[in-house]
Structure 1
Amino acid sequence: MSASDRSATRPLHLAVDLGGPPHYDAPHYVRLARLAERGRLDFVTLGDSFARPGPDALAVLARVAPATGRIGLVPTVTTTHTEPFHVSSAVATLDWVSRGRAGWSPQVSTTEAEARLFGRRSAAPIAELWHEAREVADVAAKLWDSWEDGAEIRDEPTGRFIDRDKLHYVDFEGRTFSVRGPAIVPRPPQGHPVTVIDATDPEARAAAVRHADIALVRAEDPTTAREAREELRDRVRAHGRDPGRLRVLVSIPVELHTTADAVGLAGLIGDWCQQGAADGFHLRPADPGRDLALVVDGTVPVLQHRGLLRRFYPGATLREHLGLSRAVNQYAQAGRAS
C-alpha cells in the first residue's frame, strides 16, 4: 500500500508521551500538551507506576484538560491493588472534564515491593495480573454503560432526578473483586473513554485483543511492526470484534537535536507507512521539552506536506480523532433486542 493510497483511506495517527523525569508543576505538562495540540497530534500519554515517585498521571491530565481544547489525554492507570469502581469513576471524570477527550492505558504492578505499599496481598504472576486487568476493563465498560443516555431527567416540578429504568446494576463477580454498581458518575461523553494498551508483551496483547481501541507495539523495523499489526487484527477478528475498529500504533523512542533530525523522522514514518506497518506512531521522546518542539515544528509540517497527516482536527472528541464512533451502550442495546 503506497503512502498516497493510505492517506486517501485513513489519516496517519500520531501521539506522543509526555514522560521523562517527573515534574511537580502543572504548567510543564500544560505547555507540552498545548504544543502537541498545535501539531494536531491525536493524543498525549503520561506514564505512571507505583515503582517510582511522581504525581498521579490521571490527576495531572485532569489539570491539563481545561487548559487544552482538542488533544486527547491518556494516562496510565494501574489496575493492580486499586479498586475497579474507583478506576472507572476517575476515568469517566477525566472524560467529562475534557469534554470527551479521555483515554486510559491499563497497566499492572508486578513486584513485592509495590505490593507492600498497600499491604493487601502479595505480588502475583503476570498472567494473573493481566487477567485481573481484563476484568477491570470489562467492569469499567459495564459501569460506564450503567447509566443510559438520558438517564438524568432533572425534572424540578416532579422532583425526579433519574429515570430508574435507564439505570442498571452491574453485578460483576471477578476472581479478586466484585462490583454491583451502578456508577456514581453519569455515562461519559464518549460512551467509553478510549482504551490504549501496550501490546508488546504476550499477556498484555491478550488484553488488547479483547479490550483495546488502540494497541501500541514496540518494533525496530517495519516488517516486525506489520506482522504484529496483522496478528492483532486476526486475533481481534477471531475474538468476535471488528478489526477495522482497532488502531495499531508503533511506539518508538525519539531523540532529536536539530531540525534535520525532525525531517529524518518524517522520512522514517513515511517509509513505514508505505509498507503498511501501522495505523500511526506513538513517539517516546528522550527529552519531551526539546524533542516535542522539533516534532511539531519539523516533522509534522513535512508529513502534512506529503499528505500523510491532517492539518485540522476532524471533531471534538478523541474517538472522532481516531475515526471511531461513540461506544454503544450494552444495556440499551440488550433492551432493544429483547
Structure 2
Amino acid sequence: MSHRVPRLGVALDNAGWHPAAWRRSGLEPGTLFSARYWVDQVSALERAGLDFVTFEDAFSGTSPSAASTDPALGTHAVRGRLDALLLAARLSAVTSRIGLIPTATVTHTEPYHLATALATLDHTSRGRAGWQVRVSPRHPEAQLTGRRTVPDVPLLDLDDSFVQGLFDEAAAVIETARALWDSWEDDAVIRDLATGRFLDADKLHHVDASSEWFTVAGPSIVPRPPQGQVLVTALAHGDVAYRLAALGADVVFVTPRDGEHARDIIAEVRAAERAVGRIGTPLRIIADVEVVIDITSAAALLRLAELQGHRVRSSDATLVAGSADEVARLLESWAAAGVDGFRLRPAENLQDLPAITGLLVPELIRRDLFDPDGQVPLGPGWSGESRPADGPVLLRARFGLDRPPNRYHDDLAPLATRRTLETAAGAR
C-alpha cells in the first residue's frame, strides 16, 4: 500500500453486536430508530479520526449479528432497523471526513437501483461512499420479496451449487454496478450555453449487461461518482466468498483468530486472486474483531459476563474482552502478519464506542498502529476536480487505491481493470 499505517474502522449494528446490548443501554424505546442516535455515534468516531464506518443491514427484521447465531431470538433481540443506504445518506450531510460503507443485499435487489443509490451516496458524501456486498441465502428473506424460491432449510444444509449460484449472481451484480458507474464519462456534463446542450451524448454509454438473473441496458441516471468507482467491500469466511471478493471487491473483511491464522487467511485470499485471474491492485485485507473494552481486563470480563447472562452469543469474529492494551496487542500481531487494517465490532455501542475512541485509539497511536491526522497520499488518477483543496480525502485513497480509468473512454479503457460478465463467469 502507499501508506504503512493500518486503516481503522468500526462496524455499527443497532445497540451493539451483542444481542443483549439493548438491555443494558438504558435507551428509550425508539431511540435506535432516530437519526440523532446514529449522528452522535458516527460524529464521535469521525472526531477520533477513524477512517470508515460500516452499517449492517438485512431483509429480515432481526439484526444480522443476532440472526447469524440464533434465528429464533424472537422478541428477545432488537427487531427492525433503518435502511443502511438511506442512513448513510443522512449521515453524509453531517460528516465531512469519515468513510460511509452501508451493507446492501444483492440477492433480492435490482442492480440498477443499487448502483444509482450508491453513486448518489458518493456524490452527497463528496467521495466517501463504500458498499458492503451481502448475499441472502435465507428462506424468510426470500418470502419478503417473492421474487425467487430459497430452500427452507438450515444454512449449513443448503446445497453447494445453490450457494455458488448466489455468489455468482453477486459477482454479476458488482460488475454491472461498476459498468453503470462508468456509463457516464467524467466530462459528460458540458453545460454549453451557446449550443444549449447540457450533456455530451457521446460520453454516455449503454452497459448492455445480461445474465441469467437480470438484464440492464443503462446508462445510469447518476453521473460518474467522485471516486470514479465506489469502494466495494465484502465480508468473507471461506473460499467461495474469497473468490467473490477477488473478482469484484476492493476490500475484503476477514475474521482471524490470531496472528498465525491471519497469515493463513492472507495466503488463501491471495490464492483466490490467482485462481480468478485478478488483475490490477490486490485486495486490501481488513481484520474484524468484536470487542468489549474497559479500563481493566477484569471490568471488561465482568461486563461480558453480564451480557452473556442475558443472552449467550457466539461470534464469527474473534471476541476479545479486555483492556485497551490487550486489544491493541492482538491487533499488533495481526498487523505483523500483514493485514492492511482493522474493523472493530463494539459489543455494546454506548459502552464500547467511548472506550474505542478514548482508550484504544490512543493506545494504537502509541504503537504506531493508527494515525488519525495522517494524510493518505493520492496516487495516479486523482485530479484536482476529484479532490478539491478544501475537500475530504476520498475513501478509495484512504486504502491507497487509485481512481480507476473509465472503461468506456477510448484512451483509458485498455488500462482499466475491467472484468466482463463473461470473463467473471469463465474464471469460476
Does the pair score TM above 0.5? yes
Question: Bigger radius of gyration, 1 or 2?
Answer: 2
Moved more, 323-332 or 307-316: 307-316
TM-score (norm 2): 0.73
1:88 to 115, 119, 123: 115
Question: Which residue does the alignment assign to 1:3?
Answer: none
How far residue 74 of structure 1 moved from its aligned partner, in angstroms, is: 0.4
2:13 corresponds to 1:19: yes
Specify every segment of 5 or more residues in structure 1 that has no aligned partner in the other structure, as ranges: 1-5
| Residues 334 and 199 of structure 1, relative CA distance in 2, 3 Å threshold | farther
In 1, distance between residues paired with 2:4 and 2:279? 16
Question: 1:280 — aligned with what?
Answer: 341
Q: Does 1:144 align with 2:217?
A: no
> How far 1:308 sits from its partner (Å)?
2.1
1:5-63 Cα deviation digits (max 9, x unpaired): x9x95111111111134821111111111111122211100000011221101100110
Residue 130 of structure 2 is aligned to residue 103 of structure 1: yes
1:144-193 Cα deviation digits (max 9, x unpaired): 00000100111122111111111110001011100000000000000111
Partner of 2:362: 301
Contact kept, 8 Å, 2:236 with 2:254, in 1: the verdict is yes
Alignment coverage as a number of residue pairs: 331
* Partners of 2:229 and 2:296 in 1: CA distance: 38
- Is contact 1:84-1:139 (8 Å) kept? yes
The amino acid across from 2:14 in the alignment is: G
* Structure 2: distance between partners of 1:74 and 1:9: 21
The residue type paired with residue 324 of structure 1 is: L
1:36 aligns with one of 25, 45, 52: 45
1:266 corresponds to: 328
Structure 2: how far apart are the matches of 1:279 and 1:58? 25
* AA at the equivalent of 1:262: A
Matched, 1:317 2:311: no
Contact kept, 8 Å, 1:80 with 1:129, in 2: the verdict is yes
1:67 and 2:76 correspond: no
Q: Deviations along 1:99-141, whole A, 9 cap, x unmatched?
A: 0000001111112221111122212622111111110000000
User: Aligned partners of 1:39, 1:58: CA distance in 2, in Å?
Assistant: 23
| 1:179 alignment partner AA | V
Q: Which moved more, 1:250-259 or 1:125-134?
A: 250-259
CA distance in 2, matches of 1:245, 1:162: 35
Q: Percent identity?
A: 41
Contact persistence 1:234–1:243 (CA under 8 A): no
Quote the RMSD (CA, aligned, Å): 2.1
Structure 2: where are the runs of 5+ without partners? 16-30, 62-79, 152-161, 298-322, 376-391, 416-428
> How far apart, in 2, do the equivalents of 1:62 and 1:158 lie?
35
| C-alpha separation in 1, matches of 2:257 and 2:280 | 24
How many Å apart are 1:243 and its aligned residue? Answer: 6.9
Q: Could you say which residue in structure 1 is the equivalent of 2:211?
A: 174
Determine helix, strand or coil for the equivalent of 1:49: coil
User: 1:35, 1:248 → 2: CA distance?
Assistant: 25
Amino acid at match of 1:90: A
Show the counterpart of 2:28.
Answer: none
Counterpart for residue 115 of structure 1 = 142
CA contact (8 A) 1:18 1:29 kept: no
* Structure-1-length-normalised TM-score: 0.92
Answer whether contact 1:237 1:243 (CA < 8 A) is retained. no
